[in-house]
Structure 1
Amino acid sequence: MATGDDLRRLALALDGTVEVPHFDRAAFKVSRIYVTLAPDGCSANFCFSPEDQEFRCLMAPDALSPVSNAWGRRGWTTADLSRLSLAELAGALEAAWRLGAQKKPRRR
């Protein structure tokens, strides 16, 4: 069973990650935000690619689900941390971190 403290510790161990406020949540980012932690530390929103989101939600439907709006269609996924093992949490963080580390395309 993972916790918000586990998420914070594992996320901050990933290269270049910083914690910043994001509305009422704590956000963890490299080039961009890749995960946010709810104030109660019980849930988090991860940014996955849509393909990775689909796979992860199929593998852990009791723990992961797409955010129910346009952000969810872009890969943002809600996790019930108590339903994730530490290994699952670490894998989710690494996948989201890799995506967050990519540079944003420049607008023309």
Structure 2
Amino acid sequence: MVNIDTFRKLALSFENAIEEPHFEKTSFRVNKKIFATFDEKNHHAILKLNEIDQSVFCASSEIIFYPIPNKWGKQGWTIVELFKVRPEMFEDALKLSYQNVAPKKK
């Protein structure tokens, strides 16, 4: 299980990551681009994964990771059930989400 404090600590540990509101959610961004959101009401995260990473995480556990059921899901946006996910697995997915959005180092 991952709580908001753990989520926040991990998300803000990435270079240039910031926290900002996003409608009724909390978002984590790098260079104004969202790489993760926290939905307190439903206690889940939404991460921006690439197609391959999304398929791997979703295949590993369909009740923990699953695409948003609309066009956003087809673009890699993936729901993570925070009550069910192991912290190590969440950390791996969050890191990939950040790397998908963060500027590439030269």
| Both proteins in one fold, TM over 0.5 | yes
Corresponding residue for 1:34? 35
Corresponding residue for 2:23? 23
Render the CA deviation track for 1:55-80: whole Å, top value 9, x for unaligned: 11001212010000000000000010
CA–CA separation in structure 1 for the residues paired with 2:57 and 2:44: 16
The alpha-carbon deviation at position 41 of structure 1 amounts to 6.8
Give the superposed CA RMSD.
Answer: 1.4
Render the CA deviation track for 1:42-97: whole Å, top value 9, x for unaligned: 10110000111011100121201000000000000001001111101110110000
TM-score normalised by length of structure 1: 0.89
CA–CA separation in structure 2 for the residues paired with 1:70 and 1:41: 20
Corresponding residue for 1:74? 75
Corresponding residue for 2:102? 101
Which amino acid in the other structure matches residue 61 of structure 2?
A
Which amino acid in the other structure matches residue 16 of structure 1?
N
* SS of corresponding position for 1:52: helix
User: Aligned pairs, how many?
Assistant: 103
Corresponding residue for 1:106? none
TM-score normalised by length of structure 2: 0.90
